[in-house]
Structure 1
Amino acid sequence: MDRHAARRAVWALVIAGAAGFMTALDNLVVTTALPSVRADLGGTPEDLEWTVSAYTLTYAVLLMPGAALGDRFGRRRLFGLGLLVFTGASAAAALAPGIGGLIAARAVQGAGAAVMTPIALTLLTAATPPERRGTAFGIWGAVNGLAVAAGPLVGGGLTEYVSWHWIFWLNVPVGLLLFPLVRLRTAESYAPGARLDLRGTLLVSTGLFGIVFAVVNVNAHGWTGGRVLTGLIAGGLLLVAFVRHCSARENPVLPLRLFRNRAFSGVNAAGLLMFFGMFGSIFLLGQFLQNVGGWTPTEAGLRMLPWTGMPLLVAPLAGRLADRFGGRIVVVCGLALQATGLTLYALTVSVDLPYAAQLPALIAGGTGMALYFAPASALVMASVPAAEQGIASGAHSALRELGGAFGVAVLGSVFAARGGYGSPQRFVDGIAPALWAGAAGVALAAVAAALALRPAPAPAVPEPAADREPAGV
């Protein structure tokens, strides 16, 4: 690789890493600041939930349209626009005069993040030679892992020692510094022949909106609640119509033929199931450390670092292993290790479980998560032609977010059915079966990846004509 190409790859990694850090951080940073937000702005418990869910909702719904718009109108242009939207919405969240304004700003933040995320991966893939992509995605995964690990700590620390407003102000200087780098250090690119599929974009966006809106309301309204059932049914029907539309259209927003590729469909199925088990479990484990262990949100975040912080250490190694041995074996091992960590937690969880006894499960789960992230993203991008990498990245990210939303809803429902918040023992009674459900989801992800990513059998080679018996002998 020549010096110019190497510099381009480094700048693409810096830009993609910084964008990924900001968007991943804002998924979790607000959770530990909610008591202070309520003290300043008021609002009901449901309002506070929506300060988290509004971001998740627009982020999940707009990932695929964001990728399609980048393919059609220019990836660098749309990435810069998404960055400006995200940065401006961060400032609006910091200045919000009331809880309604904060929820609205969080929704706009999610929209900006949805445009940036899939395009960042496309820019990184295009700028990095194939033999270096595993390492590049490993570093990118480590940066995202740092954001996941730092989210609760940054939110708790800034809220405790400065002000909750600074969890949003933090994005503004980063965004303003990053924007000129995007303009100066990345090349504009388009997907050849890309056309904007307005009908397909509308169907997939509204369908995903219905599904995600329903699942983020499950904890407040139950699976049989009117808004939950309406969202699930309407969203499901719209997604069925979307599939039919994509089957009939020549150039749809999501070409269904991509799913005929075993690697693409396998990694996406594994990603949906892995996020189902991982996000639902982390959602409950963070509360376990506070409600049963008795630690503050910041202390609980520190004790989650053996899980959430492991990608920072392991993801670069995972990328190098994928470059050397192939991403398939690394992904399957990572998923199996994460399922093992959740199983260990489910087997040992109790009211008086010491923190030292939790470390093997936390380390195993975090190491498995780190081994999965970078190779899985590289496998998705390698499974499709370069012209379709943007939409492939958007579809992969959307399915993962959908899996995470369902994981929180389903594991939360299992927890509520078998336990509750009334006492530490009630919490343990609920979290144990929920963790078993999470472990089962990740184990299924490992099976899906192992089956779908297995090497195809080599085609039979016909014998040379000279070695065959002459006809009629």
Structure 2
Amino acid sequence: MSTSETAPARDHSGLILTAIAVSQLMVVLDSSVVNIALPAIRADLGFSPTGLSWVLNAYMLTFGGFLLLGGRAGDILGRRRIFLAGIWLFTLSSLLAGLAPNAWVLVTARALQGIGGAIASPTALALIATNFTGPARAKAIGVYGAVSGAGGVVGMILGGVLTQWASWRWTMFVNVPIGLFVAALATRHIRASERASGRFDLAGALLSTVGVTALTYGLIRTPQHGWDDPQALTALAAGVVLLVAFVVVESRHTAALMPLRLFTHRNRVSANLLLLLLGGTTFGLFFFVTQFLQNILRLDPFEAGFAFVPWGVGIFAFSHLVKPLAERFGVKPVLIAGAASTAVATIWLSRITEHSSYWTAVFGPMTLFGIGVGLQFALITRIALSDVPPQIAGAASGVLNVAQRLGGSFGLAVLVAVFGSVVASADHNPVHIAHGYRVAFFVGIGYALVALLLAVFGLTTAAKPASRPAPGLAEASA
């Protein structure tokens, strides 16, 4: 690997960080901006009620399935090269999605968007690990965390604005100027890197991509068809078998797609598990709070999007406070505080009824949850990338992204299945629906409490990074 990739970028570090942060905003925003537009998409392109879900599922399938491959491709082929490939694919497929004349073209374009996002997202995080060092890296990861957390809320608001005052097609077109801006910045300011020596792990790439895709498909199918659905069970079983085979192959490969030495570090394993649990809690709460706002409080999509502002404000504000808080109190106490905040927020949400109002039942929990995510995300990312050699930083970033994505898919599938079992025989009475939301939130409490226990007992040190970083919580060596 060339020294140009590993050397800290000082002259243009602000522009490099802008390119990375905006690219992550584009990918995260796309996951939520389309949600508000779904009814308009269905009316315009003639989707069936079940077929409409593939506007979201096509993106989730390819994004989850190609994350490991995308992360490792940056290590082997050069990060700027792969980052730009992902950005261009995402941008062009967004243009295709906005121009889609029928349902089939839109679903295909969304799948291509997912592949582009899976290539760009882990590579963007790896670029932080290899272009920034010391306090600059902590700041860069804080910005990355704030954008990753708040992007979903921005997407909800932007989706409502564009759909109501323009067209659903602009929820796709909006990515085009953003992608062109990122590509221009990256081409000009991110240093090119040489191809790393070593063979590409084709067997690992195939097994991981098909395995994660099968697992993701099974998880997104269960809410609609139940956990006893033959296709869902077959996909889940196939995913597990393929991923076990993937681990076996990786243990024997000299240039593994996912080097197993990433999992020999207790704090790194704990960080990935924390993000998996946080993803499950976040995806589930995001989904059910949206339903509560529209089905019980009868807010329109535009109002429902703005109802998430406290969540985004909490994430953005506390992502910037993480560094001084960690320097004063230590990394572990701040993580515990964040996990406790999300647990309290989930417990609070489990008390909603059909008579609850936004200010008494949603505003407070959303603020607390945003604070909790803001405190956790950047620190989890720093821990997961700590002491990772630069040549496998992309693989470590891919694993972290997969943990979040699978955690979100699995967490949402379980909560939706629980909700469906509670309201299956009920009518559309708000009393029954609100009861189903409460039960789903109770399951979410379980995720949040396990994450809290993991923060308390999983991490091995409470070092203060500003003074004497202990192994595992120190900044990664560049």
- Measured after TM superposition, the shift of residue 255 of structure 1 is 1.4
Counterpart contact for 1:141–1:316, Cα < 8 Å = no
Cα offset, 1:312, TM superposition: 2.0
Name stretches of at least 5 consecutive residues in structure 1 with no aligned partner.
Answer: 459-473
Asked whether the 8 Å contact 1:67–1:393 carries over to 2, the reply is yes
Paired position in structure 1 for 2:353: 350
Whether the aligned pair in 1 keeps the contact of 2:77 and 2:195 (CA below 8 Å) is no
SS of residue paired to 1:6: coil
Structure ID, larger Rg: 1
Counterpart check, 1:432 vs 2:438: yes
Q: Deviation at 1:7?
A: 3.3
Ranges of 4+ aligned residues in structure 1 off by more than 4 Å: 323-326
Tell me the matched-pair count.
454
Deviations 1:334-389 (A, max 9, x none): 1121011001111x210101222122222111110111111111111114222221
Q: Distance in 2 between matches of 1:154 and 1:312?
A: 17
Name which of 371, 393, 397 aligns with 1:393: 397
8 Å CA contact retained: 1:135, 1:319? yes
C-alpha change, 1:429 and 1:269, in structure 2 (3 Å) is same
CA contact (8 A) 2:274 2:380 kept: no
Cα deviation code 1:449-470 (max 9, x no counterpart): 3322222999xxxxxxxxxxxx
1:353 and 1:441 map into 2 onto residues whose CA distance is: 24
Q: What residue number does 1:240 align with?
A: 244
Report the counterpart of residue 368 of structure 1 in structure 2: 372
Q: The residue matched to 2:10 in structure 1 has which SS?
A: helix
3-state SS in 2 of match to 1:119: helix
Measured in 2, the distance between the counterparts of 1:16 and 1:344 equals 35
Within 1, Cα distance between the matches of 2:194 and 2:283? 34
Quote the offset at 1:323 in angstroms.
Answer: 5.0
Indicate the residue corresponding to 1:464 in structure 2: none
Q: C-alpha displacement at 1:102, in angstroms?
A: 0.6
**Could you list the per-position Cα deviations for residues 272-294 of structure 1 after superposition, in whole angstroms to 9, with x for gaps in the alignment?**
11111121121111101110111
Q: Which residue of 1 aligns with 2:227?
A: 223
Separation in 2 of the partners of 1:313 and 1:430?
32
1:426 corresponds to which letter in structure 2?
H
1:68 and 1:320 mapped to 2: Cα distance?
A: 33
Secondary structure of residue in 2 paired with 1:217: helix
The answer as to whether partners of 1:131 and 1:323 remain within 8 angstroms in 2 is no
Question: CA 1:449–1:188 in 2, change beyond 3 Å: closer, same or farther?
Answer: farther
Whether the aligned pair in 1 keeps the contact of 2:62 and 2:115 (CA below 8 Å) is: yes
Moved more, 141-150 or 30-39: 141-150
CA contact (8 A) 1:200 1:245 kept: yes
Aligned to 2:303: 299
Please give the TM-score of this superposition, normalised by the length of structure 2.
0.91
Report what 1:471 is aligned to.
none
SS, match of residue 132 in structure 1: helix
- The correspondence of residues 21-420 of structure 1 with structure 2, limited to 5 A, is 21-189=25-193, 192-323=196-327, 325-346=329-350, 348-358=351-361, 359-419=363-423
Instruction: Name stretches of at least 5 consecutive residues in structure 2 with no aligned partner.
Output: 1-7, 469-478
* Residue 189 of structure 1: how far off its partner (Å): 3.1
Percentage of matched positions with identical amino acids: 35
**Partner SS for 1:7:** coil
Q: Tell me the alpha carbon deviations over residues 206-252 of structure 1, each in whole angstroms, 9 at most, x when there is no partner.
A: 11011001111112211111210110111111011111111222321
1:36 to 1:248, Cα distance in 2 relative to 1, 3 A: same
* Aligned equivalents of 2:195, 2:396: Cα separation in 1: 12
Matched residue, 1:423: 429
Contact 2:58-2:114 within 8 A present in 1 as well: yes
Structure 1 CA distance for aligned equivalents of residues 174 and 421 of structure 2: 39
Aligned partners of 1:14, 1:371: CA distance in 2, in Å?
21
Secondary structure of 2:168 counterpart: coil
Are 2:449 and 1:446 equivalent residues in the alignment?
no
Please say if residues 333 and 462 of structure 2, whose CA atoms lie closer than 8 Å, have aligned partners that are also in contact.
no
Equivalent residues of 1:280, 1:438 under 8 A apart: yes
Q: Distance in 1 between matches of 2:387 and 2:365?
A: 33
Q: 2 CA distance for matches of 1:190 and 1:443?
A: 45
> 1:75-110 deviations in whole A, cap 9, x for unaligned?
100100110000000000000011111111001001
